[in-house]
Amino acid sequence: MTPKKLQIYSTPISEVVLIATQSHEDERGVFYRGFCDHELDEILMGRTIRQINLSITHQVGTIRGLHFQHPPYAEMKMIRCIQGCVWDVVVDLRKESATFLQWYGVELSGDNKLMIVIPEGCAHGFQSLIGKSELLYLHTKPYVPTAEGGIKYDDPSLKIPWPLAIAEISERDCSFPLLNENYQGIVL
């Protein structure tokens, strides 16, 4: 069996893309390529994957985010739901971006096998649509606690329509600030 090439789709947010892969299924189960650096050269542009993380969210309706890292530790993330289903959201915080302060949401699931690529300077969050949803994260920078940033998930200026009633959210995520009219964005 020869794995099929990854397919890359643009989104309304500058440099945020979706990656789809075809799977091979037979009597043994399913195989699909989760990541292939040489097929993503045009996206990675010399970056390397520095860490891989897994989050498991047990309760339907849980929100995590909206998170990012400040420069010089701003990171590109590649995120795939490997089990369950989430509504994944990206907010463009890059001051010089044509899509500054715009957001994009997409359903990621173990069934659709989509991966979202989120560039440096964008915030990320998600809401679990199914219990025990698992996300696999590939990061181009290590986690630096002092560089951690976030914006509040229900910021009225963004008007993100989370699809479900909020069942759970951490105190930390609730304490992130709202954007104000003077927000200057992230300069990379």
Tell me what pLDDT residue 4 has.
Answer: 53
In the set 32, 73, 137, 183, the catalytic residue is 137
Residue 3 has pLDDT above 70, yes or no: no
Stated pTM of the model: 0.93
- Whether 32 is catalytic is no
Verify cis geometry, omega within 30 degrees of 0, for the bond prior to 66. yes
- Go through the chain and tell me how many residues it has: 188
Dump pLDDT digits (tens) for 117-159: 999 999 999 999 999 999 999 999 999 999 999 999 999 999 9
- Cβ(94)–Cβ(185) under 8 Å? yes
Number of domains in the chain: 1
Q: 40: how many CB neighbours lie within 10 A of its CB?
A: 19
Dump pLDDT digits (tens) for 67-91: 999 999 999 999 999 999 999 999 9
Structural domain of 46 = 7-175
Residue 39 has pLDDT above 90, yes or no: no
Q: What is the CATH classification number for the domain harbouring 76? A: 2.60.120.10
Residue 2 has pLDDT above 60, yes or no: no
Which residues face 149 on adjacent strands? 68
Tell me what pLDDT residue 37 has.
Answer: 76
- Whether 137 is catalytic is yes
The tokens describing 105, both together, are 């949401």
Task: Give 182: exposed, middle or buried? Use CB within 10 Å, 0-12, 13-18, 19+.
Answer: exposed
For residue 188, tell me if it sits in a domain: no
Dump pLDDT digits (tens) for 19-33: 998 778 899 988 877
For residue 182, tell me if it sits in a domain: no
In the set 24, 67, 73, 183, the catalytic residue is 67
